[in-house]
Amino acid sequence: MKSPFYLSLMAAGMLAVHANGQSLYTLAGPVGLEESLPLKWTFNLAGGYDDNVNASNYDQQEAAFISTDIGASLANYDSVTQYSFSAKLGGIFYLKDLEGETNESLSNSTLSANLSHSFDQTLRYNGSVSFAWQPEPNYSNGIANARRDGDYIYVYVSSSVSKAWTSRYSTTLGANFSMINYQEDSAKTDNRDYVGMDFTNRYKWTERLAISLSWNGSYCDREYGNNEFSNFVMAGAEYAVAENTSATLRVGPQFKYVKATVPGPILPQNSV
């Protein structure tokens, strides 16, 4: 049984100013601001002292640590098919574990790859994949508040196709998948998978102003607890402040459907 509820985000517009090399009006790739890089290797070794390993107000533990990693990066932005690659293999060794007893080793490794291909002036493909095996917390994923859960594996894969129908109007269709998997048995109740799709229509109103209308759907499959399906409908405006800087405002509602995976009533949901 699905229980729908409406989460209003009309007042929570998102304003972002970003400086990057993405074209404001076309599907062409970055021009002039990103440079192709040969294969580059890095090595780091560091030590330190953490007075609150758990990043917690009620379970503070202190320990010295040693961290090390080896990394590689490669990028090519000069051809029709552009790509970038980076990888880091490393770890953190704590002289005490997260409960303050013996030593503990945690992985700190990441991998990312991006691919972009222009079939012609109007059709472009973009894909990316990232992998992380890291200790908590990683607040950017919105899933952690302390390192007491040890390390976790995070995988994200996305793919999209953009088509310019006219010199002013374009459409982008994308799909993505992500996975969060904790390594500690005590934290596996928070394991989850996400499958999402998005559809965006964009119109160049003037040389500086573009407007957009988009839909984003995401299904969350939890190992334990309630699965949920979220829909976002967003209207946006993008204004070119300068050649490589734009300001974007998006606003719209979210609709969420929660499906119980265990017997029992569905608890009311509170908006954030």
pLDDT band at 236 (very low <50, low <70, confident <90, very high): very high
Q: How many CA atoms lie within 13 A of 26 on its CB side?
A: 9
Q: Which of 147, 149, 172 is nearest to 162 (CA)?
A: 172
Q: What is the secondary structure of 13-46 as a DSSP string?
A: -EEEEEE-S--SSSS----SSS--EEEEEEEEEE
Lowest mean pLDDT among 16-25, 35-44, 56-65, 219-228: 16-25
How many whole angstroms separate alpha carbon 18 and alpha carbon 244?
Answer: 8
How many whole angstroms separate alpha carbon 144 and alpha carbon 235?
Answer: 30
Lowest mean pLDDT among 13-22, 84-93, 235-244: 13-22
User: Any bridge partners for residue 179, and if so which?
Assistant: 155, 193
How many whole angstroms separate alpha carbon 192 and alpha carbon 224?
Answer: 8
**Cβ-based neighbours of 11, under 8 Å, separated by 6 or more:** none
271 backbone dihedrals φ, ψ, rounded to 5°: -75, 155
Torsion of CA 12, 16, 22, 27, to 10 degrees: 20
Pair 231, 216: CB distance under 8 Å: yes
Lowest mean pLDDT among 159-168, 171-180, 187-196, 204-213: 187-196
Question: From its phi and psi, is residue 51 left (phi > 0), alpha (psi between -120 and 50) or beta?
Answer: alpha
Q: Is the pLDDT of residue 222 over 50?
A: yes
pLDDT band at 24 (very low <50, low <70, confident <90, very high): very low
From residue 221, alpha-carbon distances to 7, 196, 218, 257 in Å are: 20, 11, 10, 12
Diameter of the chain measured on Cα atoms: 65
Mind listing the pLDDT tens digit for each residue in 174-201? Answer: 999 999 888 777 777 888 899 999 999 9
Query: Which comes out higher in pLDDT, residue 48 or 156?
Result: 156
How many whole angstroms separate alpha carbon 12 and alpha carbon 15?
Answer: 9
Residue 105 confidence (pLDDT): 79
Residue 184 confidence (pLDDT): 76
Residue 63 confidence (pLDDT): 78
Mean pLDDT of 76-87: 89
Q: Is the pLDDT of residue 14 over 80?
A: no
Percentage of residues in the chain having pLDDT higher than 70? 72
Q: What is the secondary structure of 55-106 as a DSSP string?
A: --SSS---EEEEEEEEEEEEEE-SSSEEEEEEEEEEEEEESS-TTSSS-EEE
How many whole angstroms separate alpha carbon 153 and alpha carbon 136?
Answer: 10
Residue 246 confidence (pLDDT): 86
Mind listing the pLDDT tens digit for each residue in 114-156? Answer: 999 999 889 999 999 999 988 765 555 545 545 556 678 899 9
Mean pLDDT of 56-70: 78
User: How many residues are present in the chain?
Assistant: 272
Residue 145 confidence (pLDDT): 47
Average pLDDT, the chain: 77
pTM: 0.71
Query: Which comes out higher in pLDDT, residue 28 or 47?
Result: 47
How many whole angstroms separate alpha carbon 101 and alpha carbon 140?
Answer: 29
**Cβ-based neighbours of 110, under 8 Å, separated by 6 or more:** 86, 87, 88, 130, 131, 132, 133, 134
Q: Is the pLDDT of residue 25 over 80?
A: no
How many whole angstroms separate alpha carbon 60 and alpha carbon 55?
Answer: 7
